[in-house]
Structure 1
Amino acid sequence: MNDRYDAGYGDHEDQYELVGYDEYGRPVYRQAAQQQAPQQPYDPYAQQQQGYGYDPYATGSQQQVPQQYDPYGTGQQPVTPPAPSYDPYGTGAPQGGAPQAPYDPYGRAAASGQQPRVAEQTAYIPQQAGPGERTQEASPAERDYRTEQFEFVEEPDGDSEDVIDWLNFTENRTERREEAKRRARSRLVALVVVLAMVAVGGVGYLWYAGKLPGLSWSGSKKGGSATAAGAQNRDVIVVHLHNTKGGGTSTALLVDNTTTKQGTTVLLPNSLSLTDDDGTTTTLAKSVDGDGSSGTRDSLDTALGTDIEGTWRLDTPYLQNLVDLIGNIEIDTNADVPDPAAKKKGAEPLVHQGKDQTLSGKTAVAYATYRASGEAQNAQLERFGQVMAGVLRKMSSDPAAATTTVQTLAQILDPSLTDKDLGTFLAKLADLAKGGDYKTALLPVQSDGTMSAQASASVVKDVLGGAAKSPEQGSAVRVSVQNATGTKANTDKARVVLLNGGFTFLEGGTAGTASATSKVVYTDAKDKANAGEVAKTLGLPDSSVAKGKTTSNADVSVILGQDYKPSAS
């Protein structure tokens, strides 16, 4: 549109000024008032053949006809007839009045007639021809502006980007929701799997620990044992309580069965018969005083078939400090313990008999070492076991904290047992004691210090796992001897003969009734040859050798009958 107008308007742009736009969006100019030079006015709707002029105000009055606008600058100023009436439909038919000037869409001069110049006259700039218009001159009917000659260009809507963004946002949000649902389902499935595994593991643990009703891991007379007692793993240390004021010692084994998660204090009577390295028979009390910790530990290993890892010498002052460090203990006492400092009879006892008695370090030592007049040593030993159980219940289950407690005692421990080892071991037992998985057992011995069959079955085998261990290459075969001859001296004679023959002697005690014939018994087939050697050493016939059940701590068991002749050994 502007190209056509600029062709004639470029030289006269100072004569027109823009006043606005018409209803079709075309610019509307008006002629400046101060210009005096006549010129041809621009008639955008003048038709060449229909001959009528355009009255912008449609007044129908005759105006002075100014000179026509010459857009091509030809200088010709044809005379323009008076303005005709306006034909809005472009029919070309005259509607009264003077003949109309023809319409020239390119602003060329009219064939005849002139219009007077009017000041402030408004001119319309013709629109640029659209793509559908012809470049050649067309007929008047074809030069009329029609709807199909306009090409409408759809401009992009500014809101389209917002719509696209909103669709993308909605799609992304839907995907995120679906992804969140998938993750939630995955987490739910994982949680169910974990809970199922925990439930199965819990049931397995209860079954393993023998805590399920009707089921037991350790077996029974009806069901048998899932794991043999001897195949279980045990950590064992021996503790000797030395009474620095009243004299005497008390010995116990602290056992941590890591297989069954069971802790036990095994109380060892001082009358327990042991064999020294030189083969001589002694008691536990004498071994502790004479052989020391190392010799006593080896003798206990031989007698019980255990593997003691260390010795803890606990003097009564250290026991008192230990109880005070952990903040007293609570136990059920079985006797009133008199105060040694009291001078009057009937004075208030230092420890009262009863349940849940709180003992300090001083009262704990008094109760652990107390032995009433006429009581057996086992009564005092059981009180010592109660105090040890109370200490373990109050000891920290944290290995580091328990080690700090041990270090605070400032004890001089056996080289085989360090502060850290003892602290870690006590922390494990403390955890078992707090959970109720701890017990105390007394090793039953006969009056002569030998272990009975009951002791071998209930304590040595089940608690200590002391089934006869296979001797290492070059080690001596352990032989348990029970005297059924009716002559007590025959035990010592058999001991001397066996020690001289390179065997380890274990005293099996004296049988209640005499036996007519002697027996040499072995359990494992690999010990059959050893049993034959033992029979020859004792002067017994080969027919006395038989496969059977031996004591738990011996490789070969011997029952000396009345046919045994020491002179034939």
Structure 2
Amino acid sequence: MNDRYDAGAAEYGTDQYELVGYDEYGQPVYRQLPAQQQPYDPYAQQGYGYDPYATGRQQPVPPYDPYAAADTGQQPPTPAYDAYGTGTHQQHGAHSPPYDPYGRTATSGQQHRVAEQTAYIPHQAGPVEVPQTQDRDERDYRTEQFAFVEEPDADSEDVIDWLKFTENRTERREEAKRRARARVIALAVVMALVAAGGVGYLWYAGKLPALSSSDEKTGTGTAVGAQKREVIVVHLHNTKKGGTSTALLVDNTTTQQGTTVLLPNSLALTGDDGTTTTLAKSVDDDGSSGTRDAIDTVLGTEIQGTWRLDTPYLQNLVDLIGNIEVDTDTDVPDPDAKSKGAAPLVRKGKDQTLSGKMAVAYATYQASGEAQNAQLQRFGQVMQGVLRKLTSDTQGATVTIQTLGMIIEPPLTDKDLGAFLAKLADLAKGGDYRTALLPVQTDGTLSAQASSSVVRDVLGGTAKSPDKDAAVRVSVRNASGAKDNTDKARVVLLNGGFTFLEGGTASTAATSKVVYADAADKENATEVAKTLGLPSGAVAKGEVTANADVSVVLGQDYEPASS
């Protein structure tokens, strides 16, 4: 397009112009040449600047010469550019038409150029020279110098709203992540505290494997013999049919465990005179005080008191606390029924509600041909049901005992019994209570199972003697094959100042043994061997029954003294 301006400048009138540069807006600057200095224009005869799309006659366009305008005092003509080649060229005023950026010619009148109108500036290959004296910051930039002007778009508000939405969503997502991390940290802290509390509880209860031993410790890190226990013996007297049922109520204050230990009536006891008797006979013959001492001797316990509970008082106790719930194991007939076909008083089933009369009938029921242990187990169920229903408040339990009007034998008092039962009731409600049957052999002696599971674990094993001068307890088991050797050994030991404990019989053994468990009892074991006429080589360290200090097994080499 510059070539077109050059050609037009060459053909404009009789004067000739020469291109000398470009102004600061990129428009060509010409100067007029004298006639004799007209340069040769090789394109002048070829019609350079010809618009192939023009429909009319080509018009020469005089170049703009700012210097010529200064000399003549007139505005130089401005070449009009027809972008679409319509062939119509008009001058503004006398020489140029109004400029249309889209190449359209005004239909009527004259249009004046305004500052807001954006001019189309054709691309020029040559550089724009800026006068050196002009400061770059002092240029007058106008709107028409720029081809594009950014204007607010109708969708800009939507874009802003979308950015705000995405920003808010991102913030919400980050906040959710922070809350999730906080919850995870809080959960981890809680789990750590729970784990620490569980380990602390196991340590306190002595249930950590590293802190307990099955031989010496149960429940806590304290040895079973050193654990503190409170024990009361209760005798249930059947006032209608006769007979008694005996149990030990044990409160292990060290392990916080309560236990009802059921004692069979066939349990062999040793009287003050050294004679052997059974538990049932001891209750009837020796009374509460003598039986308590005999039980302490056999089991190594230290009973604090005796609670005599007759069946009428048991019935009143159950009615007073508002019935009990028991999982009954059999149907119990009504003892007052006149006909044999009457409905049972107590039916077999789980969670059976028993009144006072029903509780007494179930606790004392023993079917024909049934072992006494079955009846004893039912008595234990009733006792545990009573403890679960009894109040855990010491004062309330004491008032209940006082309301029954029972005769309490010394040294036990109604306040002591009420406080003791309240503690057991609390353990029973919390699930820290159980019932255990003391296993005995057919001859009434304690079995090895009793020594390990009940006597040692529940009752404390070889409980310490009441004082250091107490008689040494010697358990004797007859393996000589001669039945009367047991009585002969008992007489000899009692005369020697020892306490005799019936150990039952065993299969025949060739040699006798005298065994002690603690080094402190070695001397006592040696004295027992001398008393029985056994050689010192029979004394050895080993396992002793839980209720004795020294255990003796009479073999075939045992020869009783003649006197």
Same fold (TM over 0.5): yes
2:201 match: 205
1:535 match: 529
2:338 aligned with 1:338, yes or no?
no
Change (3 A) 1:364 1:271: same
2:361 aligned with 1:354, yes or no?
no
| Local SS of the residue matching 1:535 | helix
Amino acid paired to 1:399:
T
Provide structure 2 residue ranges, at least 5 long, that are not aligned to the other structure.
1-188
Change (3 A) 1:217 1:330: farther
Matches within 5 A, 1:166-181: none
1:272 match: 267
Question: Alpha-carbon deviations, 1:12-68, whole Å to 9, x = none?
Answer: xxxxxxxxxxxxxxxxxxxxxxxxxxxxxxxxxxxxxxxxxxxxxxxxxxxxxxxxx
Question: Alpha-carbon deviations, 1:91-140, whole Å to 9, x = none?
Answer: xxxxxxxxxxxxxxxxxxxxxxxxxxxxxxxxxxxxxxxxxxxxxxxxxx
Amino acid paired to 1:466:
G
2:396 aligned with 1:405, yes or no?
no
Change (3 A) 1:218 1:333: farther
Matches within 5 A, 1:279-294: 279-294=274-289
RMSD: 2.5
Amino acid paired to 2:516:
Y
Partner Cα distance (2:214, 2:253) in 1: 20
Contact kept, 8 Å, 1:209 with 1:217, in 2: the verdict is no
Contact kept, 8 Å, 1:485 with 1:562, in 2: the verdict is yes
Change (3 A) 1:543 1:471: farther
Contact kept, 8 Å, 2:326 with 2:381, in 1: the verdict is yes
Shift of 1:423: 0.5
Partner Cα distance (1:196, 1:504) in 2: 55
Contact kept, 8 Å, 1:238 with 1:310, in 2: the verdict is yes
Partner Cα distance (2:209, 2:523) in 1: 41
2:432 aligned with 1:461, yes or no?
no
Shift of 1:354: 0.4
2:297 aligned with 1:326, yes or no?
no
Partner Cα distance (1:215, 1:568) in 2: 54
Partner Cα distance (1:562, 1:418) in 2: 51
Shift of 1:215: 5.8
Shift of 1:201: 5.3
**What stretches of structure 1 move > 4 A for 4+ residues in a row?**
193-203, 214-225
Partner Cα distance (2:193, 2:412) in 1: 40
Partner Cα distance (2:384, 2:528) in 1: 43
2:555 to 555, 558, 561: 561
Partner Cα distance (2:211, 2:427) in 1: 18
Question: Alpha-carbon deviations, 1:286-332, whole Å to 9, x = none?
Answer: 11111111111111111001110000000000000000110000010
| Local SS of the residue matching 1:566 | coil
Partner Cα distance (2:209, 2:313) in 1: 43
Matches within 5 A, 1:219-238: 219-220=213-214, 226-238=221-233
Amino acid paired to 1:519:
K
2:484 aligned with 1:489, yes or no?
yes
Change (3 A) 1:537 1:375: same
2:256 to 252, 257, 261: 261
Change (3 A) 1:197 1:412: farther
Matches within 5 A, 1:66-465: 203-209=199-205, 219-220=213-214, 226-465=221-460
Question: Alpha-carbon deviations, 1:423-475, whole Å to 9, x = none?
Answer: 00000000000000000000000000000111000000000002252562322
Change (3 A) 1:216 1:240: farther
Contact kept, 8 Å, 1:208 with 1:217, in 2: the verdict is no
Contact kept, 8 Å, 1:235 with 1:308, in 2: the verdict is yes
Amino acid paired to 2:443:
D
Question: Alpha-carbon deviations, 1:214-261, whole Å to 9, x = none?
Answer: 869755589997221111111100000000001000000000011111
How many matched pairs?
375
Partner Cα distance (2:365, 2:210) in 1: 39
Partner Cα distance (1:300, 1:333) in 2: 30
Partner Cα distance (1:279, 1:223) in 2: 33
Partner Cα distance (1:358, 1:462) in 2: 33
Contact kept, 8 Å, 1:450 with 1:509, in 2: the verdict is yes
Partner Cα distance (1:518, 1:502) in 2: 21
1:507 match: 502
2:546 aligned with 1:546, yes or no?
no
Shift of 1:197: 8.7
| Local SS of the residue matching 2:231 | strand
| Local SS of the residue matching 1:567 | coil
2:464 aligned with 1:476, yes or no?
no
2:512 match: 518
Contact kept, 8 Å, 2:478 with 2:554, in 1: the verdict is yes
Question: Alpha-carbon deviations, 1:526-548, whole Å to 9, x = none?
Answer: 21111111111111111111111
Change (3 A) 1:332 1:403: same
Partner Cα distance (1:209, 1:330) in 2: 30
1:174 match: none
Q: Indicate the larger mover: 253-262 or 215-224.
A: 215-224
Partner Cα distance (1:491, 1:468) in 2: 25
Partner Cα distance (1:557, 1:268) in 2: 22
Partner Cα distance (2:190, 2:469) in 1: 53
Provide structure 1 residue ranges, at least 5 long, that are not aligned to the other structure.
1-192
Amino acid paired to 1:269:
P
2:72 match: none
Contact kept, 8 Å, 1:468 with 1:554, in 2: the verdict is no
Shift of 1:549: 1.4
Partner Cα distance (2:216, 2:504) in 1: 32
Partner Cα distance (2:295, 2:496) in 1: 22
Shift of 1:401: 0.3
Amino acid paired to 1:529:
E
Shift of 1:344: 2.3
Change (3 A) 1:267 1:362: same
Amino acid paired to 1:561:
G
Change (3 A) 1:238 1:488: same
Amino acid paired to 1:520:
V
Q: Percent of aligned pairs with the same residue?
A: 78
